[in-house]
Each structure stands twice: as C-alpha cells, then as structure tokens.
C-alpha cells in the first residue's frame, strides 16, 4: 500500500495527537502484513485515548501477531474488566488463550471455550463467533475422543446466520469427516469449491477425505492443489508425503516430508525470534543494552528474514558505537524491505556518524520522504530507538 501509506503518514504527521489517525494507519499496516509498525501506531492510539474498546482490541491483535501473547492476554483482560459486554474482545481473548496453549503444548481448552462461548452469548447473531467456538469445541472433542456433535451445531449456526460462509462450511466438513459420513463431507466441499475454487483449506480437507477413502490418486491431486494455493501450508505437505508413499512414489514422498520439516522449523523459529525481540525491547527500555543485544542477536540468528530483527540489532550496535556492524544490519534490513523508514533513518544516522555525511544525508532524506514524522535531525550522533 505504498501510496495509501504515504497519505496516511502525512495525515498522522499533520495531526499527531489524533488517535483515530494512528488507529487507521495501524489497520492499514496490519493489512499490509507490517505488524511491527502497526503495533507502534496502536500503542500511540491507546496512549492518546486509553480504555477504548476498538483501540485495545487492535493493539492486542498486534501483540498476538508479533508473538507477544502474554501482553495480548493481559491487555484483553484489563479491557474486559472495563467493558464486560464487548463480545469481540471475548472472542479474540479466547483465540489468544488458544494460541498460548499451542505454544505451551497444553491441552486445557476450558478457558478458551468459556471465552468463545461468552462471545456468542453476548452477540448471538455473529457467524464468526459461532465458527470460532465450533473450532475450539472440535479440537476438544478430538482430544478427548468424544462426539463432535456440539461443534457441528456451532458450524451449522454460523452458516445459517451467513449463508455461503465458506470458512464455516469447510470447518463443518472437517467435523463431519470425524463422523465417518464421507459422502456428505464431499458434498459440502464440492459446494464450497464451486463457489470458491481457490480456497486452499477446502482442497486440503478434500484431500484428507479421499485419503480416508483410500483414493490415493485423488487425495494426492487435492493436496497438491492445496499446496499450490498455499505454499506455506506445512500440514498439506505432511499429508501428501504419506499419500505419495502409499502410491509408491518414495522420492516424491521424501521431498514432501522434507518440505514439511523446513516449513515447521521456520514457523517455530519465527515464533521464537518474536519472543526474543520482545525480551530485547524490554531490556532496551530498562537500559540494559548488553541484554538487549543478546536478545536481538538471537532473533536475527533464528529468523534472518525478519527486517525488524536486523534493525533492532543495528540500533543496539549503534548505541554501543559499533557503527560498521550497525550499518551492516541496517543495510540487511533494507535489503529485505526497501520501504522501511526507520531502518533507512537509522542507516542515515549511522553513516553520518561514521563520517560518510553525503550518503547519510541522502538516507535521512529518503527516510523523511517515506515517513514525514522522521524529521531531519540537527544533531546526528545517535539513532532512533528500536522497534
């Protein structure tokens, strides 16, 4: 959203005390998958207008997106104490609790289901809330090896409230598959795919259904289609590996399972890197630069594809006067994301401080063009803080 971002940035720069502008910019950044920058905008919006349901919810979502689950849960709980009738907060709170359970490899879905059920009671006409509750109930039923009847009822309610709700229909198909009614499952998935042929999850569920019917060729075809539509879906690779082995395609099976391992490890590494980043930010806030450097370095080692990790490490290196190392990290951040205003600004400061004033000035000018709030400084001895 380059053009839209610039318009919103100019609006925020012109009226920096307007909480709504910061919130709108944060939403645009989240939509562009720039959750780190969105987090900062939501934090400003909440400082300017505290205890606002929408702002609190958006900030908590950004915390969740950046891997700061405990911060998200704490914020949801504080906001819910002031707004106990906010159904959306309860739903997102339940999802955050669920995410924390997954990270901790815990299976106690009771608090998750309680929060999600509360959202449906507060807003019974929300198809999304019924679908979320259905997913949690399905997970719990599978864990306990119990009937999935209650989950099915929630998915059916969601679809009745919003006919054509493909996500809920696919979830309903997944639940029905556990009942053994495979023809009914295929009927639901065929209806979804006729309407949305590019829905990867529907192809994935169809592949699992064919697998249960021992129709290995059709299963492989559906799973390959799911992967083509969603190349980062590790579960589809895992399922495909097993199906290809059944078909005697040993080498292709091995490749699919190797891809599953790579994607799973990358997902885990990014999650861990986010946690180290949060630790580093807290250490920096406390003035412990040695700890901050250690945490930011771990984040870079775990997820070298995250531009914010390189910018944060560069910042702490600049603060400890390791300018060449800082410059290298800022350049790595910009190689990963060219339109990263803060990394470009920090690069300009580091170049200027190292004696390369022409290039430093140019980088600072470009950073200011990207984000007018990054004013051209009069004194250029230190860089701005980390993300």
For the chain, what percent of residues have pLDDT higher than 90?
A: 82
Please tell me the predicted confidence (pLDDT) of residue 66.
Answer: 87
Q: CA-to-CA distance for 105 and 44, rounded, in angstroms?
A: 34
How distant is the alpha carbon of residue 170 from its chain centre? Answer: 21
Cβ atoms of residues 231 and 200 within 8 Å: no
Please tell me the predicted confidence (pLDDT) of residue 236.
Answer: 97
- The CATH architecture to which 303-387 belongs is Alpha Horseshoe (1.25)
pLDDT averaged over every residue in the chain: 93
CATH of 1-84, one of 1.25.40.10, 2.60.40.1120, 1.10.3720.10, 3.50.50.60: 1.25.40.10
- Nearest C-alpha neighbor of 347 from the set 372, 319, 318: 318
Please tell me the predicted confidence (pLDDT) of residue 9.
Answer: 85
pTM of the model: 0.83
pLDDT (tens digit, 9 = 90+) per residue, 243-279? Answer: 999 999 999 999 999 999 999 999 889 989 988 998 9
Instruction: Give domain limits for the chain.
Output: 1-84, 303-387
For residue 157, pLDDT beyond 60:
yes
Please tell me the predicted confidence (pLDDT) of residue 381.
Answer: 43
For residue 241, pLDDT beyond 90:
yes
Mean pLDDT of 321-345: 95
Cβ atoms of residues 62 and 38 within 8 Å: yes
String of DSSP letters for 233-292: -HHHHHHHHHHHHHTT-HHHHHHHHHHHHHHHHHHHHHHHHHHHHHHHHHHHHTT-HHHH
């Amino acid at each position: 959203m380059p053009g839209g971002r610039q318009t919103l940035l100019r609006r925020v720069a012109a009226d920096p005390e307007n909480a709504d502008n910061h919130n709108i910019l944060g939403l645009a950044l989240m939509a562009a998958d720039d959750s780190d920058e969105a987090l900062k905008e939501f934090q400003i919006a909440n400082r300017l207008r505290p205890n606002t349901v929408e702002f609190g919810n958006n900030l908590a979502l950004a915390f969740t997106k950046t891997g700061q689950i405990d911060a998200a849960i704490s914020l949801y709980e504080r906001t819910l104490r002031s707004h106990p009738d906010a159904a959306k907060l309860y739903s997102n709170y339940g999802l955050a609790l669920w995410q924390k359970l997954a990270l901790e490899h815990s299976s106690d879905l009771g608090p998750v289901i309680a929060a999600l059920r509360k959202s449906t009671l507060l807003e019974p006409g929300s198809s999304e809330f019924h679908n979320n509750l259905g997913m949690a109930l399905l997970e719990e039923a599978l864990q306990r090896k119990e009937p999935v009847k209650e989950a099915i009822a929630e998915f059916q309610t969601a679809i009745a409230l919003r006919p054509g709700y493909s996500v809920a229909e696919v979830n309903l198909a997944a639940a029905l598959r556990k009942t053994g009614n495979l023809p009914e499952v295929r009927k639901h998935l065929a209806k979804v795919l006729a309407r949305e042929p590019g829905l990867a999850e529907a192809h994935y569920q169809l592949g699992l259904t064919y697998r249960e019917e021992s129709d290995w060729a059709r299963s492989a075809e559906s799973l390959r289609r799911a992967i083509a539509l969603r190349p980062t879906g590790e579960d589809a690779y895992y399922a495909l590996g097993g199906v290809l082995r059944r078909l005697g395609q040993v080498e292709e099976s091995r490749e699919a399972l190797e891809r599953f391992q790579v994607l799973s490890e990358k997902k885990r590494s990014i999650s861990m890197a986010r946690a180290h980043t949060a630790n580093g930010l807290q250490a920096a806030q406390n003035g412990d630069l040695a700890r901050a450097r250690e945490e930011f370095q771990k984040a870079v080692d775990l997820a070298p594809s995250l531009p914010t990790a390189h910018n944060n490490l560069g910042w702490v290196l600049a603060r400890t006067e390791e300018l060449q190392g800082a410059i290298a990290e800022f350049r790595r951040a910009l190689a990963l994301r060219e339109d990263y205003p803060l990394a470009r600004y920090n690069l300009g400061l580091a170049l200027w401080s190292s004696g390369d004033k022409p290039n430093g000035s140019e980088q600072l000018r470009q950073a200011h063009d990207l984000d007018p709030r990054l004013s051209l400084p009069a004194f250029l001895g230190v860089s701005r803080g980390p993300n």
